[in-house]
Amino acid sequence: MVESPGLATFAGDAGGSDQELVDQALAGRREATETLAQRHRQAAYLLALQLLGNRDDAMDVAQEAMLRFFASLGTFDRERRVQPWLFTIVRNQVRDLWRRRQRRPGDGLSEAGEALTRQLVDLTANPEADLRRRELKQRVWRALAALPAAKREIIVLRDFHDLSYSDIAQVLDIPIGTVMSRLHGARQQLRAQLQAGGRHA
């Protein structure tokens, strides 16, 4: 098993900005394509995993998203950043999957939450001392999985993937002026869920 390294850097990343790599990939340079793929596919997988909960589904979605990403490289607008554009594709794939299975984004959430927390990795050297932190992580991701899809998406994009408000607006296809209030509403609901869960526990 491999653990997620810092998402930005990889050993063997030949460097160069995403935009330069896109140009080189379009010119047929295979190394550029490989570097682009290695740089972004893990984030694509993680977003899919966090939205779907299920590892195999997430892998299918991420693979397909990468295919579509490279297939549409020619139409990529250079003013935009690669990651939000790829995330737009991932999100559409996730919604397609829900639609194909005739499920609404809220169905089967407790299984999704359980499956998702099983994918959490404990990186601390002293697991005993950090038991509380680990339990907190599991509770938070379980509660996130139980939120309506739109709320889960916005929190994950901001707090895990560290997207700017304007990138979030692009991925979710919403006006940038509404990002902060939607994010706050989602965070409030998550917090309420955690507090309710804490009382029952």
User: Shortest CA distance to 76 belongs to which of 140, 118, 111, 26?
Assistant: 26
For the CB of residue 85, give the shortest distance to another protein in the complex, in Å: 7
Report the distance separating Cα 139 and Cα 146, nearest Å.
11
Question: Does 37 help bind another protein (rule: CB under 8 A)?
Answer: yes
Stretch of residues binding another protein (CB under 8 A), selected from 13-21, 59-67, 97-105, 106-114: 59-67
Question: Among all chains, which residue has been given the structure tokens 């996730």?
Answer: 94
Instruction: Tell me if 196 sits within 8 A of 188, measured CB to CB.
Output: no
Question: Does 59 help bind another protein (rule: CB under 8 A)?
Answer: yes
Q: Which of 49, 61, 94, 147 binds another protein (CB under 8 A)?
A: 49
Backbone angles phi, psi at 136, to 5 degrees: -60, -45
Q: Which of 13, 16, 19, 73 binds another protein (CB under 8 A)?
A: 73
User: Shortest CA distance to 181 belongs to which of 167, 165, 164?
Assistant: 165
Question: Among all chains, which residue has been given the structure tokens 């991420």?
Answer: 62
Stretch of residues binding another protein (CB under 8 A), selected from 13-21, 98-106, 107-115, 181-189: 181-189
For the CB of residue 187, give the shortest distance to another protein in the complex, in Å: 5
Q: Which of 106, 110, 191, 196 binds another protein (CB under 8 A)?
A: 191
196: tokens are 């309710």
Q: Which string of x and - marks every residue 90-129 that binds another protein (by CB under 8 A)?
A: --xx-------------------------xxxxx------
Residues between 140 and 169 with contacts to another protein, criterion CB under 8 A: 140-141, 144, 155-156, 158-160, 162, 164-165
Report the distance separating Cα 86 and Cα 18, nearest Å.
12
- Name, in order, each residue with C-beta under 8 angstroms of 27's C-beta and a sequence gap of 6 or more: none
Question: Does 55 help bind another protein (rule: CB under 8 A)?
Answer: yes
Question: Does 1 help bind another protein (rule: CB under 8 A)?
Answer: yes
